[in-house]
A and B are shown apart, each in its own frame.
Chain A
Amino acid sequence: MHNEHIEEHFGNRNVVEMNSDYYMVAIEDYPKDGWEKFKRVVRRAFRGELFVGLWVVMREMIRFDIHTVQYPMEKMPIGPRYRAVHEMKRLWESDTERCIGCGLCEKICISNCIRIDTKIDENSRKEVSEYSINLGRCIFCGYCAEVCPELAITHGGEYENASDQREHFLTFQDMLTPLDTMKAGTQREFEGFGAITPHEDERVKKTPLAY
């Protein structure tokens, strides 16, 4: 099967004829001896492109019209849908964590960087006992945020995760919105993958809640 396909594609191997699938690429001939090589070096070195670049720099320097962001002294605002380091959100009503430990993020993660341990707590509820994301493996695809049924795990704007080693683990507490932020009412909802889209109400089929 596979072989047939290849044969079909490269069936016409007659390089010389006009109707073949092959054509010649226009490239200049390779230098044949030392003299030709020398001529090519001179031709390429003294063409003047170097000075074009130098001129642009000089011109902009004199104009003082600089667009470069002075990172890290200066930072661009990040869009609300940007997918940087994860955050764990809390419920507005009770300040408790939204995560219910369903494990869907762990399952969907295509780079297999999320792991979650759960247990039964003293109130017989499911509790997340440990949660970790290996940022060395994470490709920031956003699937975890998209699959999360509780809008608990989301991406945040924190993109500065350079460190002296590749693996850098995030734990549950690192990601959780600090209680101060909740008190101040400044937890920001994520608008990217997994967030509730406008007109969501119209798309959901209702179940009768007669009681």
Chain B
Amino acid sequence: MSKITINIDGKEIETQEGEYILNAARANNIFIPAICYLTRCSPTLACRLCLVEADGKQVYACNAKSKEGMSVVTSTENIVKERRAIMEVYDVNHPLECGVCDQSGECELQNYTLEMGVDAQHYAIKDVSRKDKDWGHIHYNPGLCIVCERCVTACKDMIGDNALKTVARGADAIEAEFKDTMPKDAYAMWNKLNKSLIGLTSGEEMLDCTSCGECAAVCPVGALVDTHFTYTSNAWELKQIPATCGHCSAGCQISYDVKHTSIDNTDEKIYRVMNEWNYVSLCGAGRYGFDYQNKVASKDETAFAKALEAFKKADTIKFTSTITNEEAYLLQSLKEKFGYKLVNNEAKAFQTFLNNYGEISGTKLYGYDLEATHNANFVISVGAALKSDNPNARYALNNSMTVNKGAGLYFHPLKDPVIEGLGKSIMTMYHAPLQEEVVLYLILDLFADKTKLPNEVVEYLASFHGTKTITVEETIKEEITEIVKVMKKNEETGEEEEVEEEKKKMVPKKITKEVEVDDNRLLAILGADEKFMEELQKNLAKKDSFVLIAGADLYTHPNSKNLARLLALIEKYSAFELVMIPNLTNTLGVSLICELDDATGLHTIGYNTKGDFTLSALGDGDLDMPAINQQEGTLTSINKRVNPTNVAIGYNGYELNDIANALGLRAENVIEYTKALPIEKGFQSQEFDSLPNHYENDGTECRGYLLENVAVATSDDESVAKFSNEKLEGTLIYMANPVRQFTPFTSKCTNLDELSGVYMSEEFLSKSDFNEGDIVKVKSASGELVASIVSDNKIAGEIIVMPTFDAKLNSEALFSSYRFATASIEKV
């Protein structure tokens, strides 16, 4: 795509060839009204407000593409008439209940009604009964709905749940006289509006989706509202605190909307989480998991004194990655000063993986990010339970398929109906656990440039190829000669008579023939079905940008070193760009900042994890710490971005910095360490207060800064080991969380009500003797636990999922380090 210049309202602007006029205008601060269009999604063409005149022709700015030298006028006499009529139509039968509506004050219907100067109403139609619907976490009021379909678009094009659709309204037809008297587009828009409302795709009474709440966020009016927020606050009373979500590595930009708790209690309370939905989409945990703060009345001096004693005695600090970069830096400083061992297994695994990867790639970090994945058109995911490990990676995959006509390939042992539901162009391959190596070899085999790949690898891959003869059914066109009787006039006699004529005709015919084809045994090893290659070839047509998403299964795989090297080879020798999903919120930051150790010593301080002395932001330790929503600091995201987050709720207790100060470090606030983060690892020396946290009108992400992908030394050794034939079989358990849950912090949130227990798919439960609610004992080689069965329709197949979000359920004990294990399960 090339840069072009177009003219909007006399202003010369530069944009990309083929960019929608609306986006080009927005990027240059030119206002074109529009309701139904969502940036990053496909145009809906429901509201028709974005009418403009391009080169003298009336077009919709949201789906008309820019061409070199195009001249656009955003408002003409006719367009003004159309827009006003459209807004009048939207106001027809819209209840005048702004006083109680939750959207009042940030309502696009209010805004545009005012903008278009609607002060009288020329249209009317009999209203139909539109009853409120309680869809669980979302409340739908069809009376307020203007059917802009933004919810449907977001759910389909971004989230991929396809949970909403338009349904019939059952209204009378619009009176005929309006067709002639009304502006044309306004009439067409009304005609469509009058026929539809929003309903559930499933046809059920209750919404059954991954509960991200994005539909309610994008709703321009008060039709879709988060149930928990209903009637609790007016928009204008809330103060927006720009922050970064603290639940997973996606590091989404959010704003905590806070206000005093009540008349009697002036403490700040988070009422809701909002996002810039044109540029970032949240998951259910980000949207509804906001009240995980650690409420502490005052500084507990005795506990603090004990903590200092414990620090003097301890030789190890064990911690999780749900901390800020600054805290990680503090821990590293303490290590340097007092020689503590820093233990964090999950970050250590990721750190080692990155180092192994760097040996071939020559860079500290993977090359790509999720933002760019949105613009790709062929995405492969390996080793990640995508929808729960990093919901934004799923959105990126789905968005690339829906908007860029892309396709996807999902490799994972756990069957996932949500991923399958993303659309027709997603292929899933459910291989056995431990076969991730085979998967990466297959990707190398299918996509790598064999002329550049190391010879041994090429030879190794070739050893899996053979030829086989298969019988294919083919439809060919065959010429046949038919004798048909036709009536013809005999020219001599002048009479009609029947003559026989020969006619040639092509008819399709099915034949079977034997052909010799390439036999790729890697596919057979992975258990791919026979149609796999055929389908893949179809999906690969017209694809030019490729992304590989690698997940956490790989980091703790017994052969993780080899996997890391394979990934580097794929990135180096194929068209694939690489993104890795860090396990937890700040795993990437921790793995860059801290030197981590393997073994714990004799006395352990635990930070958000159990130790001999426990510091905890969960409120269950020996000394309380602030949670992420009570802290300022930076978090490093999957997009290799150092994002700032701010204090949403006050905290009265001690924090890690107080301990560090008492131990001899010096900083009044922990954010003084932001500028001290290690530059040699890619961080920048920037003051916390100078870090921005917003999006520009053209979608540019102005948040913190991007890590530099530092070059690391490589040896010329690009050898990779052959894959092992091992695979896990039998009753399998997998360490993963249900959608909307990540850590004990999400588990603390009142609006996230996922049950703790042993997750089995509905499919598996119906085939087995187990029932939902049964208490079972799960026993593996590493340990055992007793919990009740939870039925989950978001997974399928026979693998049992052991969640880690409930700290009481010690799922980790069942696994050695790899996320899969074999286990036995029996009722107790």
Contacts and interface: CB of A to CB of B under 8 A. Distances in A.
Contact of B232 (A100, A106, A119, A209): A119
B306 to A, nearest CB: 40
B100 A101 contact: yes
A115 B263 contact: yes
A206 B262 CA distance: 40
Interface residues of B, number: 25
A125 B123 CA distance: 29
A211 interface: yes
A210 B120 contact: no
A101 B230 CA distance: 13
Nearest to A205: B120
B125 A211 contact: yes
Interface in B707-752: none
A68 interface: no
Given A118-B232, A205-B120, A106 B99 contact: no
Nearest to B261: A117
B100 A102 contact: yes
Contact of B230 (A120, A149, A205): A120
A186 interface: no
Given A101-B99, A106-B237, A117-B263, 16 more contacts: A102-B98, A102-B99, A102-B104, A103-B237, A104-B99, A107-B237, A118-B231, A119-B231, A120-B231, A124-B132, A125-B100, A126-B231, A130-B262, A130-B264, A205-B120, A208-B124
Most B CB within 10 A of own CB, among A116, A207, A210: A207
Top 5 A-B pairs, shortest CB-CB distance = A102-B99, A207-B121, A210-B124, A126-B100, A211-B126
A146 interface: no
A104 to B, nearest CB: 7
A106 to B, nearest CB: 7
Nearest to A149: B99
A70 to B, nearest CB: 40
Given A205-B120, A211-B126, A132 B104 contact: no
Given A103-B237, A208-B122, A211-B125, A150 B99 contact: yes
B107 to A, nearest CB: 13
Interface in A99-156: 100-104, 106-107, 115-120, 124-127, 130-132, 149-150
B578 to A, nearest CB: 48
Most A CB within 10 A of own CB, among B123, B231, B234, B236: B231
Interface string A192-211: 00000000000001111111
A126 B232 CA distance: 9
A29 to B, nearest CB: 60
Interface in B618-632: none
A127 B234 contact: no
Contacts of A103: 234, 237
B127 interface: yes
Interface in A58-108: 100-104, 106-107
B769 interface: no
Contacts of A211: 124-127
A200 to B, nearest CB: 16
A97 to B, nearest CB: 13
A166 to B, nearest CB: 18
B491 interface: no
Contacts of B231: 101, 118-120, 126-127
Nearest to B99: A102
Contacts of A208: 121-124
B124 A100 contact: no
B502 interface: no
B156 to A, nearest CB: 29
B534 interface: no
A96 to B, nearest CB: 14
Contacts of B264: 130
Contacts of B262: 117, 130
B473 interface: no
B119 interface: yes
20 contacts: A100-B99, A101-B231, A102-B100, A103-B237, A107-B236, A115-B260, A117-B262, A117-B263, A118-B231, A125-B100, A127-B231, A130-B262, A130-B264, A131-B263, A149-B99, A207-B121, A207-B124, A208-B121, A208-B123, A210-B124
Interface in B110-126: 119-126
Contacts of A205: 119-120
Contacts of A132: 263
A132 to B, nearest CB: 5
B263 A130 contact: yes
Contacts of B121: 207-208
Interface string A43-62: 00000000000000000000
A190 B230 CA distance: 32
Interface string B262-288: 111000000000000000000000000
